[in-house]
Amino acid sequence: MGDNCVDILRPAGRRFIGGNAVNVAVQFASLGGVSAYFGAVGEDENGALTEQSLVRNRVDISRLARRALPTAYTQIDVAENGERSIGFEDFGACAGYVPDDDAMAALLGFDHVHIGWLDDGGAVRRHLAAAGISVSQDTTVNARPENLGVDGLSIAFASIDGSHDAARRAAHALFARGARGVVVTRGSQGSSVFVDGFDADIPARPIVPVDTTGAGDSYIAGFLHALLSGASPDVAGEKAAALAAATCLHEGGFPQQPVETTDS
């Protein structure tokens, strides 16, 4: 549940479908899991492209909301050396999205709900956790403090640039705020898993990346799929690292053909 986004690469003008919640849903489905996306797109071309991409990747969109707003998009400037920087972003139809009563009722039937960027002040997280639903959230994609609460989360996903010891300190801070499990990704330094009593330092796969967009989202999808399939948290971390590495070998948060556009 949460964000979708169309990444527009400049100056080429290629469009890729993404967003934390969309990437997690698609990558989870690619592993053979059953996933659905809860969020909002605009009634525009980018919204239609997002819908088509989700359907093509076997993600249920029966609860997708369509709003009379632009679909969220990000303009990404690509330098000659391949380095990328965000030039502009508009959360569009994602901003202010909340699931309606029917969607909320449907969420109670899932084995697990992952939340990406959602500016609801934590209302959905608290409701699901109170109902006993397993919930995770990526704490790196919501910048405003009111959306960053972790109490009730089965797993809080975080990201730092540091050692396993630094990740452990970050995890203890999240535990103190109410998270029951914590997974910290550390880029090329690996990841750290603090779930169900495990304290595991997972090495990153050695690769030469093409594009790191969505690598963290793929890690989340790989971790959740493995854990929900019965793997131990440390093994889930290893499988997640493998999927994250594979994502870095292609453009975009999941394999897709970009859409060319002159509107860059």
Domains of the chain: 19-70+98-252 (3.40.1190.20)
Q: Is the pLDDT of residue 264 over 50?
A: no
Given this model, what pLDDT does residue 82 score?
60
Average pLDDT over all residues of the chain: 94
Q: Is the pLDDT of residue 78 over 80?
A: no
Q: Is the pLDDT of residue 27 over 60?
A: yes
pTM of the model: 0.95
Given this model, what pLDDT does residue 85 score?
81
Where residue 212 falls among pLDDT bands split at 50, 70, 90?
confident
3-state secondary structure 107-139: HCCCCEEEECCCCCCCHHHHHHHHCCCEEEEEC
Task: Say if CB 122 and CB 177 are below 8 A apart.
Answer: no
Given this model, what pLDDT does residue 13 score?
86
Q: Cα–Cα distance between 246 and 105 in angstroms, integer?
A: 35
Where residue 68 falls among pLDDT bands split at 50, 70, 90?
very high
Where residue 142 falls among pLDDT bands split at 50, 70, 90?
confident
pLDDT (average), residues 148-166: 96
pLDDT (average), residues 140-151: 90
Where residue 262 falls among pLDDT bands split at 50, 70, 90?
low
Beta partners for 138? 157
Task: Say if CB 219 and CB 140 are below 8 A apart.
Answer: no
Q: Considering the chain, what percentage of its residues have pLDDT values greater than 70?
A: 98
Angle 31-35-36 (CA atoms, 0-180°, nearest 5)?
A: 150
